[in-house]
Amino acid sequence: MVHRPEVAPHFYARPAKSRASGGRFRPASHPARIAQVFTQGPLAGNRTMERIKPKDMALIQRLLSLDKPYFSPADLEKALGQKRPALYVTLNRLVKYGVLARLGQGVYQVTLRTADLPRIANQLVYPSYLSFESALSRCGILSQAPYVLTFATSRRSRRLILEEHSVEFRQLKEELFFGYTLQGGLYVAEPEKALLDQFYMVSRGLSSLTPEELDLSPLNLERLQLYASHFPPAAQAAVKRAFPR
């Protein structure tokens, strides 16, 4: 299942009481708080941050401390402690300043991080795993890099647009939803399963495949035959054509 870390503690630590102030806490001045944030962590030296409010800096640091490739409005509502519509005022301001990026409908990311679109898409639709052309290209079986990110899911097929990139989720039956591993936070089909998933879609007339673009040498034939036994006859026939005895 998708890892959802707990909300990290507030960025600012409470300073020690000062004897000169009679033991009363005196917050740092407005410029001092900005300087404090600029000289710490990944925000140091980022001039874009000069335009936003000091309280927003704490919010950004809190988001950066969470191990999430993207944030939904619900995530942000919980992490930032703001209720809607006040939350959307903050989000619109941070997007305007270039601190947050709106990758898609209800999908936000801190711009100081590089967008990991496969991992984001994988977590947006659960359960799912990278398969078909994308997984075949990733493992070197397919020579051409696809323009569309392709995932298998046991839910309904759908298409998303993330940061102007197209992402397809293609439905597989529950009994065919196997043969994938977790790699760097991303669920990815094993090479043999990715090929069978593709053969299955081709047999249903929902996709295409050019044999000349395939390098089948990395495949484990024993695993391929084992996995193929779970697929309909049309997909099994495609395997036999690809590996004639």
What's residue 47's pLDDT? 54
Q: Over range 158-171, report the average pLDDT.
A: 95
What's residue 55's pLDDT? 73
Residue 201's Cβ-count burial label (10 Å; 0-12, 13-18, 19+) is: buried
* Poorest-pLDDT segment among 30-34, 68-72, 160-164: 30-34
Asked whether the beta carbons of 219 and 153 are under 8 A apart, the reply is no
- CATH number assigned to the domain with residue range 31-110, chosen from the 4 options 3.40.50.720, 3.40.50.10310, 4.10.910.10, 1.10.10.10: 1.10.10.10
What's residue 99's pLDDT? 87
**Where do the DSSP E strands lie in the chain?**
100-104, 107-110, 128-130, 149-153, 158-162, 165-171, 180-183, 186-189
Asked whether the beta carbons of 86 and 27 are under 8 A apart, the reply is no
Query: Token pair of 28, please?
Result: 């740092």
What's residue 49's pLDDT? 54
Task: Name the phi and psi angles at 161, rounded to 5.
Answer: -120, 120
> Model confidence at 54, in pLDDT bands (50, 70, 90)?
confident
What's residue 183's pLDDT? 96
What's residue 52's pLDDT? 66
> Model confidence at 244, in pLDDT bands (50, 70, 90)?
confident
Q: Over range 30-44, report the average pLDDT.
A: 42
Q: Say if residue 19's pLDDT is above 50.
A: no
> Model confidence at 179, in pLDDT bands (50, 70, 90)?
very high
Q: Say if residue 40's pLDDT is above 60.
A: no
More confidently predicted of 135 and 86:
135
Q: Over range 184-207, report the average pLDDT.
A: 95
The mean pLDDT value of the chain amounts to: 81
For 86-132, write each residue's pLDDT tens digit: 888 888 988 988 889 999 989 999 988 888 999 999 999 999 999 99
What is the share, in percent, of the chain residues with pLDDT greater than 90? 49
Overall size of the chain counted in residues: 245
Q: Say if residue 11's pLDDT is above 50.
A: no
* Poorest-pLDDT segment among 46-60, 77-91, 164-178: 46-60
Query: Token pair of 198, please?
Result: 């593709």
Q: Which residue ranges does the chain devote to CATH 1.10.10.10?
A: 31-110
* Poorest-pLDDT segment among 11-20, 199-208, 225-234: 11-20
What is the share, in percent, of the chain residues with pLDDT greater than 70? 78
- Is 94 in a helix, a strand, or coil? helix
Query: How far apart are the C-alpha atoms of 224 and 42, rounded to whole Å?
Result: 45
